[in-house]
Amino acid sequence: MHDTAHAAPPLTLHSRIREELRERILRGALQPNDRMPSESELMAHYGVSRITVRQALGDLQSARMIFKVPGKGSFVAAPKPFQDLSRLQGFAEAMNASGHETFNRLLSLQTVPADASVAERLQIAEGTGVTAIQRVRHLDRQPVSVDFTWLPLHLGERLKRDELATRDIFLMLEEDLATPLGHADIAIDAVPAPAQIAGHLHVAPGTPVLHIERLTHDRDGKPVDHEHLYCRTDTFQYRLRLQRR
Protein backbone atom coordinates (compact mmCIF):
# COMPACT_ATOMS: atom_id res chain seq x y z
CA MET A 1 0.00 0.00 0.00
CA HIS A 2 1.45 3.37 -1.03
CA ASP A 3 1.73 6.26 1.44
CA THR A 4 0.05 9.21 -0.26
CA ALA A 5 -0.04 11.48 2.77
CA HIS A 6 2.91 13.51 1.49
CA ALA A 7 2.44 13.04 -2.26
CA ALA A 8 2.81 16.21 -4.33
CA PRO A 9 -0.47 17.52 -5.72
CA PRO A 10 -0.95 16.95 -9.47
CA LEU A 11 0.10 19.82 -11.71
CA THR A 12 -2.64 21.99 -13.16
CA LEU A 13 -2.86 22.10 -16.94
CA HIS A 14 -1.20 25.47 -17.27
CA SER A 15 1.54 24.45 -14.80
CA ARG A 16 2.29 21.32 -16.82
CA ILE A 17 2.57 23.34 -20.03
CA ARG A 18 4.76 25.92 -18.29
CA GLU A 19 7.11 23.27 -16.89
CA GLU A 20 7.45 21.47 -20.23
CA LEU A 21 8.27 24.74 -22.01
CA ARG A 22 10.63 25.72 -19.21
CA GLU A 23 12.45 22.39 -19.52
CA ARG A 24 12.84 22.89 -23.29
CA ILE A 25 14.42 26.30 -22.67
CA LEU A 26 16.76 25.06 -19.93
CA ARG A 27 18.07 22.11 -21.96
CA GLY A 28 18.65 24.32 -25.01
CA ALA A 29 15.96 22.98 -27.31
CA LEU A 30 14.75 26.59 -27.43
CA GLN A 31 17.62 29.08 -27.67
CA PRO A 32 17.70 32.79 -26.71
CA ASN A 33 15.67 34.87 -29.19
CA ASP A 34 13.99 31.76 -30.67
CA ARG A 35 10.29 32.27 -31.29
CA MET A 36 8.08 30.32 -28.90
CA PRO A 37 5.23 28.16 -30.27
CA SER A 38 2.20 30.36 -30.87
CA GLU A 39 -0.86 30.30 -28.62
CA SER A 40 -2.79 28.47 -31.37
CA GLU A 41 -0.03 25.88 -31.77
CA LEU A 42 0.07 25.25 -28.02
CA MET A 43 -3.74 25.03 -27.82
CA ALA A 44 -3.76 22.41 -30.57
CA HIS A 45 -0.81 20.45 -29.15
CA TYR A 46 -2.15 20.24 -25.59
CA GLY A 47 -5.87 20.34 -26.34
CA VAL A 48 -6.46 23.24 -23.94
CA SER A 49 -8.10 26.64 -23.99
CA ARG A 50 -6.41 29.90 -24.91
CA ILE A 51 -6.65 31.15 -21.30
CA THR A 52 -4.73 28.08 -20.09
CA VAL A 53 -1.97 28.70 -22.64
CA ARG A 54 -1.81 32.38 -21.71
CA GLN A 55 -1.45 31.47 -18.03
CA ALA A 56 1.52 29.24 -18.85
CA LEU A 57 3.19 31.86 -21.04
CA GLY A 58 2.44 34.55 -18.46
CA ASP A 59 4.25 32.54 -15.79
CA LEU A 60 7.31 32.21 -18.04
CA GLN A 61 7.23 35.92 -18.81
CA SER A 62 7.00 36.78 -15.09
CA ALA A 63 10.06 34.58 -14.54
CA ARG A 64 11.80 36.54 -17.35
CA MET A 65 12.37 33.38 -19.36
CA ILE A 66 10.45 34.76 -22.35
CA PHE A 67 9.48 38.19 -23.64
CA LYS A 68 6.63 39.30 -25.89
CA VAL A 69 6.82 41.37 -29.06
CA PRO A 70 3.40 42.85 -29.97
CA GLY A 71 2.10 41.34 -33.19
CA LYS A 72 4.94 38.82 -33.45
CA GLY A 73 4.54 36.50 -30.45
CA SER A 74 6.75 35.36 -27.59
CA PHE A 75 10.51 34.78 -27.73
CA VAL A 76 13.07 33.12 -25.48
CA ALA A 77 14.90 35.66 -23.30
CA ALA A 78 18.65 35.59 -22.89
CA PRO A 79 19.63 34.58 -19.33
CA LYS A 80 20.47 37.59 -17.17
CA PRO A 81 24.14 37.66 -16.10
CA PHE A 82 24.61 37.35 -12.35
CA GLN A 83 27.28 37.45 -9.68
CA ASP A 84 27.24 35.16 -6.67
CA LEU A 85 27.49 37.34 -3.56
CA SER A 86 28.28 34.35 -1.37
CA ARG A 87 31.78 34.33 -2.92
CA LEU A 88 34.24 37.17 -2.40
CA GLN A 89 35.38 37.90 -5.92
CA GLY A 90 35.70 40.84 -8.27
CA PHE A 91 33.15 41.75 -10.90
CA ALA A 92 35.36 40.99 -13.90
CA GLU A 93 36.61 37.80 -12.23
CA ALA A 94 33.02 36.53 -11.93
CA MET A 95 31.75 37.73 -15.32
CA ASN A 96 34.74 36.71 -17.43
CA ALA A 97 34.55 33.21 -15.97
CA SER A 98 31.04 32.88 -17.42
CA GLY A 99 32.05 34.18 -20.85
CA HIS A 100 31.02 37.83 -20.59
CA GLU A 101 33.02 40.85 -21.73
CA THR A 102 33.80 43.50 -19.12
CA PHE A 103 35.63 46.81 -18.97
CA ASN A 104 35.68 49.85 -16.69
CA ARG A 105 35.47 53.53 -17.56
CA LEU A 106 37.59 55.38 -15.04
CA LEU A 107 35.90 58.60 -13.95
CA SER A 108 38.43 59.70 -11.34
CA LEU A 109 41.44 58.54 -9.35
CA GLN A 110 42.64 60.96 -6.69
CA THR A 111 43.86 61.40 -3.14
CA VAL A 112 41.25 62.95 -0.85
CA PRO A 113 40.89 63.45 2.91
CA ALA A 114 38.74 60.70 4.44
CA ASP A 115 35.37 61.98 5.61
CA ALA A 116 33.86 60.66 8.85
CA SER A 117 32.10 57.71 7.18
CA VAL A 118 35.13 56.52 5.18
CA ALA A 119 37.44 57.02 8.16
CA GLU A 120 35.19 54.91 10.37
CA ARG A 121 35.01 52.10 7.81
CA LEU A 122 38.76 52.02 7.14
CA GLN A 123 39.61 52.53 10.84
CA ILE A 124 41.73 55.63 10.27
CA ALA A 125 41.58 59.19 11.55
CA GLU A 126 39.17 61.57 9.84
CA GLY A 127 41.03 63.75 7.34
CA THR A 128 43.69 61.11 6.63
CA GLY A 129 44.52 60.86 2.93
CA VAL A 130 42.88 57.97 1.07
CA THR A 131 42.71 56.92 -2.57
CA ALA A 132 39.26 57.56 -4.04
CA ILE A 133 38.28 55.82 -7.29
CA GLN A 134 35.12 56.26 -9.35
CA ARG A 135 34.39 53.88 -12.22
CA VAL A 136 31.53 52.83 -14.47
CA ARG A 137 31.53 49.04 -14.90
CA HIS A 138 30.44 47.72 -18.30
CA LEU A 139 29.12 44.25 -19.05
CA ASP A 140 28.89 43.15 -22.68
CA ARG A 141 29.36 46.83 -23.60
CA GLN A 142 26.46 48.07 -21.47
CA PRO A 143 26.92 50.13 -18.28
CA VAL A 144 25.73 48.08 -15.29
CA SER A 145 27.12 49.84 -12.21
CA VAL A 146 28.78 52.97 -10.91
CA ASP A 147 31.39 52.12 -8.26
CA PHE A 148 32.87 54.44 -5.64
CA THR A 149 35.91 52.94 -3.90
CA TRP A 150 38.16 54.19 -1.09
CA LEU A 151 41.43 52.52 -0.10
CA PRO A 152 44.15 53.32 2.46
CA LEU A 153 46.74 55.47 0.76
CA HIS A 154 49.59 52.98 1.18
CA LEU A 155 47.64 50.60 -1.06
CA GLY A 156 45.74 52.94 -3.34
CA GLU A 157 48.73 55.02 -4.44
CA ARG A 158 50.39 51.83 -5.73
CA LEU A 159 47.52 50.91 -8.08
CA LYS A 160 48.29 51.38 -11.78
CA ARG A 161 45.85 53.79 -13.41
CA ASP A 162 45.85 52.10 -16.81
CA GLU A 163 45.01 48.72 -15.30
CA LEU A 164 41.89 50.00 -13.54
CA ALA A 165 40.12 49.82 -16.91
CA THR A 166 40.49 46.07 -17.22
CA ARG A 167 41.34 44.53 -13.84
CA ASP A 168 39.50 44.07 -10.56
CA ILE A 169 40.89 45.96 -7.59
CA PHE A 170 40.59 42.71 -5.62
CA LEU A 171 43.04 40.96 -7.94
CA MET A 172 45.37 43.95 -7.97
CA LEU A 173 45.45 43.93 -4.17
CA GLU A 174 46.23 40.23 -4.02
CA GLU A 175 48.47 39.75 -7.04
CA ASP A 176 50.33 43.07 -7.18
CA LEU A 177 50.28 44.38 -3.60
CA ALA A 178 50.62 41.10 -1.64
CA THR A 179 47.39 41.77 0.27
CA PRO A 180 45.36 38.53 0.46
CA LEU A 181 41.68 39.14 1.16
CA GLY A 182 39.70 37.50 3.92
CA HIS A 183 36.06 38.55 4.17
CA ALA A 184 33.63 41.35 3.33
CA ASP A 185 30.64 42.90 5.09
CA ILE A 186 27.79 43.80 2.73
CA ALA A 187 24.65 45.92 3.10
CA ILE A 188 22.06 46.04 0.30
CA ASP A 189 19.14 48.35 -0.34
CA ALA A 190 17.32 50.00 -3.25
CA VAL A 191 17.53 53.74 -3.92
CA PRO A 192 16.33 56.13 -6.62
CA ALA A 193 19.23 56.90 -8.94
CA PRO A 194 20.60 60.44 -8.53
CA ALA A 195 20.87 62.34 -11.82
CA GLN A 196 24.64 61.89 -12.20
CA ILE A 197 24.56 58.15 -11.55
CA ALA A 198 21.49 57.74 -13.78
CA GLY A 199 23.36 59.45 -16.60
CA HIS A 200 26.29 57.04 -16.32
CA LEU A 201 23.91 54.05 -16.27
CA HIS A 202 21.76 55.34 -19.17
CA VAL A 203 18.56 55.28 -17.11
CA ALA A 204 16.13 58.02 -16.13
CA PRO A 205 16.87 59.96 -12.91
CA GLY A 206 14.93 58.42 -10.04
CA THR A 207 14.97 54.92 -11.56
CA PRO A 208 15.34 52.36 -8.74
CA VAL A 209 18.87 50.95 -8.60
CA LEU A 210 20.47 48.43 -6.30
CA HIS A 211 22.82 50.04 -3.79
CA ILE A 212 25.50 47.84 -2.25
CA GLU A 213 27.87 48.98 0.46
CA ARG A 214 30.80 46.59 0.81
CA LEU A 215 33.70 46.71 3.26
CA THR A 216 36.42 44.21 2.41
CA HIS A 217 39.04 43.08 4.93
CA ASP A 218 42.38 41.42 4.41
CA ARG A 219 43.18 38.00 5.77
CA ASP A 220 44.19 39.53 9.11
CA GLY A 221 40.82 41.27 9.45
CA LYS A 222 42.04 44.79 8.61
CA PRO A 223 39.70 46.85 6.36
CA VAL A 224 41.39 47.59 3.01
CA ASP A 225 38.59 48.43 0.53
CA HIS A 226 35.39 50.42 1.13
CA GLU A 227 32.85 50.64 -1.71
CA HIS A 228 29.45 51.96 -2.67
CA LEU A 229 28.04 50.29 -5.80
CA TYR A 230 24.97 51.52 -7.70
CA CYS A 231 23.72 48.80 -10.04
CA ARG A 232 21.12 48.60 -12.78
CA THR A 233 18.52 45.92 -12.13
CA ASP A 234 17.37 45.23 -15.69
CA THR A 235 20.58 43.86 -17.20
CA PHE A 236 22.31 42.20 -14.27
CA GLN A 237 21.54 40.56 -10.94
CA TYR A 238 23.21 39.35 -7.78
CA ARG A 239 22.44 35.94 -6.32
CA LEU A 240 23.03 34.46 -2.92
CA ARG A 241 22.50 30.98 -1.48
CA LEU A 242 21.60 30.84 2.21
CA GLN A 243 21.88 27.75 4.37
CA ARG A 244 19.56 27.14 7.31
CA ARG A 245 21.57 26.33 10.40
CATH topology for the 82-239 domain: Chorismate lyase (3.40.1410)
Largest CA distance in the chain: 76
Domain with CATH 1.10.10.10 in the chain: 13-76
Tens digits of residue pLDDT in 224-241: 999 999 999 877 777 777
Would the pTM of this model clear 0.85, i.e. be above it?
Answer: no
Quickly state the pLDDT bin for 58 (edges 50, 70, 90): very high
Strands of the sheet with 129-139, listed across from one edge? 102-113, 129-139, 142-152, 223-231, 208-218, 181-192
pLDDT of 9 reads: 55
Is the CB of residue 107 less than 8 Å from the CB of residue 135?
yes
The CB density around residue 132, as the number of other CB atoms within 10 Å, is 19
Which residues belong to CATH 3.40.1410.10 in the chain? Answer: 82-239
pLDDT of residue 244: 87
Q: Which residues contact 163 (CB under 8 A, 6 or more apart)?
A: 172
Contact 66, 36 (CB under 8 A): yes
Counting residues of the chain whose pLDDT is more than 90, the rounded percentage is 65
The architecture (CATH level 2) of 13-76 comes to Orthogonal Bundle (1.10)
Q: Are 170 and 91 in contact (CB under 8 A)?
A: no
Q: Provide Rg for the chain, Cα atoms.
A: 23
What pLDDT score was predicted for residue 150?
Answer: 98
Tens digit of each residue's pLDDT (9 = 90 or more) over 151-173? 999 999 999 999 999 899 999 99
| Alpha-carbon dihedral sign for residues 110, 111, 114, 119 | positive
Q: Is the pLDDT of residue 8 over 80?
A: no
